[in-house]
Structure 1
Amino acid sequence: MTLYKIRITGDPALHTRALEVLAIDDYIRELVADMFETMDAAPGVGLAATQIGAGLRIFVYSYSTDDQEVRGVAINPQLSISEFSDEELDEEADAEGCLSIPGERFPLKRANRALLMATDLDGHGYQIEAEGWLARIFQHEFDHLEGMLYADRLVKPHKRLMKKAIKENEWGVPGLSWSPGQDYLEP
C-alpha cells in the first residue's frame, strides 16, 4: 500500500474536473485501497482522487456515529441535493475543513440532504440517501471531482479570511503537498 501526498490548494489537479473511470481494473482497486489508507492516516472523513493527483472521478468516505458506520467508495458518482434551508449559517455546526487546505475550518452552507448514486469496486451501482454530516461529506467530495474546493464556495467574511490564511501559508501555487502522519508541508 502507498500513502499518497495530499495536494494543497493552488495545485492544478485540484482545480480541474476529473475524468470518468472507464474500467474498474487492478489499477483502480489499488488506487482505492491507497486512498483509504491515505484518508485514514490524514485523518479525514473523505478523500477525492484529485487530492492525490489522480484526475479520476473517485472518492472514498468514512463516517460513523453511535448507531451508524458508513464507509465506501464512489466511482463516477452523481449527486442530487435538497434545497438549502433558510436557516442562518451556524459558525460551529456548519464549519467545514479540507485536507487540501490543512488546519483551516470555516462555516459553509450545504444542503441538508443528498442522494449519492455511484458505482462500487465490483462494478455495481448503488445509491445512498444521506442527511446531515454524511450529506455534507458527499457534497464536499463531489465538489473536488468538479474541480472545486469548499473555499471556492465561502461567502464574506469567511472568504476573505480564507484568502488571508492561504496567503499567510504561502499556498495557492502549484506543487505544494503534505504527507499524512507528518507535521510539515513538503513541496
Structure 2
Amino acid sequence: MPVRVLGRLVDSHPVVPPEARRGTVRRITEVGEEVLERACRPVPAGEFGSAELAALIDDMFATQYIADGAGLAANQVGVDLRLFVYDCWDEEGVRHVGHILNPVLDEADPGERRLLEESEGCLSVPGAAITVPRADRAVARGFDKDGNPLVIEGRGYFARCLQHETDHLDGRLYLSRLSKRDRRAVLRESAEAREAVLAKRERKAAELAG
C-alpha cells in the first residue's frame, strides 16, 4: 500500500515506525489536566535539529504506537511544545507517517470542502468515541525537526487527524466541540473503559520493549 512519510511518497514503511523502536513510552495526559487546556508554545528555531527534540519525537511515536493512536500531540505527553506526530490512513488507503512542528492549518474556502460527521476519539479520553463534524480536507503548514518547511495535506480521516491534533496544540480537546449532554456521555464511557484501555497499553508497551 502507498505510504507518505513527511508528505513524500515512499515505496514502503515498517508497520512499527523506526522512531517507535527507538523511543521510550511516556504517560499520556488525560482530560482535566492543565497542560491540555492551554495553547502550547512554539518550538524555538534554536531547538531545531537538537538531540532532545529528536528524542521527544521518538518517544511520542512509541507512546502513540502502544496506544493504537492515529496522532499524538506533545502536550499529551506533558510537553508544552507545538508539535505532533501521526501515523494515519486516509480515505484512499494511503498511510501517512510523520511529525510536524509549529503547524498552522490553512483556512480552506467553505465552498471547497464539506463536513464529515464521523466517529472520533482521543487518547487523552481513553476508551470513548462519538460523532464529531470535521472538514473533509485540511492542510497543515509547519516544519520538520530539522527546520525544513512542510506542507501536509489530508483528506477524509487523515484530515480529521490533522484538525484534532492542531486543536490539542491550541489547548482544545474534542470534548469542547460537543454539547454538554454528549460531553457527559463521553466522560461516562471513558470512566467505564479506562482501566481496560490502560491495561492494554501496558501490555503493548511490554511487547515493544521486548
The TM-score with structure 1 as length reference comes to 0.82
Would you say how many aligned residue pairs link Structure 1 and Structure 2? 170
Quick one: higher RCO (CA 8 Å, sep 6+), 1 or 2?
1
Say whether the 8 Å CA contact 2:86–2:97 is kept in structure 1.
Answer: yes
Q: Indicate yes or no: 2:99 matched with 1:77.
A: no
Aligned structure 1 segments of 4 or more residues deviating by more than 6 angstroms:
none
Question: In the alignment, residue 84 of structure 2 is paired with which amino acid?
Answer: F
Q: Which residue of 1 aligns with 2:34?
A: 12
Matched, 1:104 2:128: yes
Pairing 1:148-159 to 2, within 5 Å after superposition: 148-155=172-179, 157-159=181-183
Cα deviation 1:46-76 (Å, max 9, x = unaligned): 0000001001000000113674221010101
Unaligned runs of 5+ in 2: 1-22, 204-210
2:120 and 2:129 in contact (8 A); partners too: yes
Whole-angstrom distance in 2 between the partners of 1:71 and 1:141: 14
Deviations 1:65-124 (A, max 9, x none): 674221010101111243363x6x74xxx1100000000001100111111101012210
Question: What's the TM-score once normalised by structure 2's chain length?
Answer: 0.73
Structure 2 letter corresponding to 1:19 = R
1:44 is matched with 69
RMSD over aligned Cα atoms: 2.3
SS of residue matched to 1:6: coil
Q: Percent identity?
A: 35
Higher mean alpha-carbon deviation, 102-111 vs 57-66, is at: 57-66
- Higher helix proportion, which one? 2
CA distance in 2, matches of 1:26, 1:57: 17
CA distance in 2, matches of 1:131, 1:103: 25
